[in-house]
A and B are shown apart, each in its own frame.
Chain A
Amino acid sequence: MDFDLTQEQRLIVDTARQFATDAVAPGARDRDRSGQFPDELVRRLGELGFFALPFDEEWGGAHDTLSYALAVEEVTRADAALGITFAAHVSLGCFPFYAFGSAAQKERWLAPALRGEILIAFGLTEPDAGSDAGATRTRAHRDSNGEWVLDGSKMWITNGTRAAVLAVTARTQPGERGHGISALVLPADTPGFTAQPIHGKMGLRSSDTASLSFDGCRLPEDSLLGEEGRGFPQFLQTLDGGRISIGAMGVGIAQACLDASLAYAQQRRQFGQSISKFQAIQFKLADMARDVELARLAVLRAAWLKDQGRPFTREAAIGKLYASEAAVASALQAIQVHGGYGYVDDFPVERYLRDAKLLEIGEGTSEIQRLVIARQLGC
């Protein structure tokens, strides 16, 4: 086994870390307070070419999910709200266009999305279809001149109000559960489409989360993304990849918890000594270090399998489940290490907890990850 990164991967990680440290970290607290979307940082990530990381060189990429995961980790370590904006755009937005899109759809939408000129959102979840995505109610039908007409609504869509185009799932044929669902390309300027920002999020406050509604949206004949009726297996495949990036976010938050807690423990003195000398505090730090290490290995292994073109459903679910729970556990412990100072936003650890919690919910809850793993075990 070779655990060393290549020269290129090291350069990518170094670049991501320097960008995160110099450009992302300094404004993270203010953006969390104000909820201001990080337009400029998104533009710069695009300029660095990072949106193309997991895709082929033909698209300006590196065909390297592993360095993509590491870049998401680094960005998230500084600001998880930018991390989810990045991860959702690439793994949920760009990926279906890359994997299932026609040449024309790729040229029109994927190319500018990879350059960071536009964002793409992925609309799967609905008010009444969350974990049970097969219960999709949004529907589309062809009218007499072949155009698609889309009606319905979506909920919790990352980058929903910012995206120039959305990949939206809808029922196009009668069927049970996953059958008869297709994905459609919806330009954001389509009449009948509205996106409303969802306010009051617990964390990831400067990321854009929206509810969408489609009221007789008319889309040209060639708006199917991939094959008709294949929407369900397509989004399962999309989510498998997305879980790697959510896992990478978990690693980033857990690492940030460890960094903050270690620095604080070494500097805080009580009972005449550094609190890092108390075994009770040391054990918390040791647990965080263990979690970071194991979560990173699990996530990177799933990324590696994907790059090798091998099955990775089980590994992505394990990585996502472990890393998201590690992030939440580490954040709780990080607050404990900080005592009262951890309970206010002068220190970043309470934000880490609020941000980390979403990782146990989005792109399949922890319960759903366990179902996926159990299914892979043959249950």
Chain B
Amino acid sequence: MFDSTGISELGGRHDVALQGLMASILSGEGNPARASHEADLLAVARDRDRVAFRRLFDHFAPRLRSFLRRLRTPEGTLDDLVQDVMASVWRRANSYDPAKASASTWIFTIARNRRIDLARRKRPEVDLDDPATVHEEADGEPLPDEQASHGQLAVILRDAIAQLPPDQSEIVALAYQRDMSHSEIASELDLPLGTVKSRLRLALVKLRTAMEGLD
């Protein structure tokens, strides 16, 4: 499953997998004193605003590089993939809806979808404008990441992950930072599928509760 680099990186299990994440949040990066990324994305969509896009680039390109490297993107293609994702951000900015997701969540989904494209896979998705799509009032509820700034959410997430038992945070890290499905995680950790599922369920309920418990 892992190449040799992956194994050495994963040695020490969840501590190491989350080490970078923790270190960066604790170092106090993500200074909130700046124009919001959401406003910058809207300016790119509306005015093709290069100054706003430069701010987005300076903020997200290094994060994408670090995030995608954890996801076992080969070092030689890493910079190209970062450029590719940022190019998609520029081109698709007009489809960004700040009522649905924060800028970082939207860029996370762009990066995910580009990786799926590059693997020559397709991603079936819901079309919210399709008349067959069922809507409920719950659709209008604010999403967890609307209720907090990026900085707040990252801190809340850090605390919530830090409070997870190690056997739960390990699985969350493998899912988000190693790109493994729950059945791959089960075989990697040599655990029954049911155990992985129940740990994931517990972890996700806790993280979601933490994210939604904001005022």
Do the two chains bind? no
Q: Footprint of B on A, CB under 8 Å?
A: none
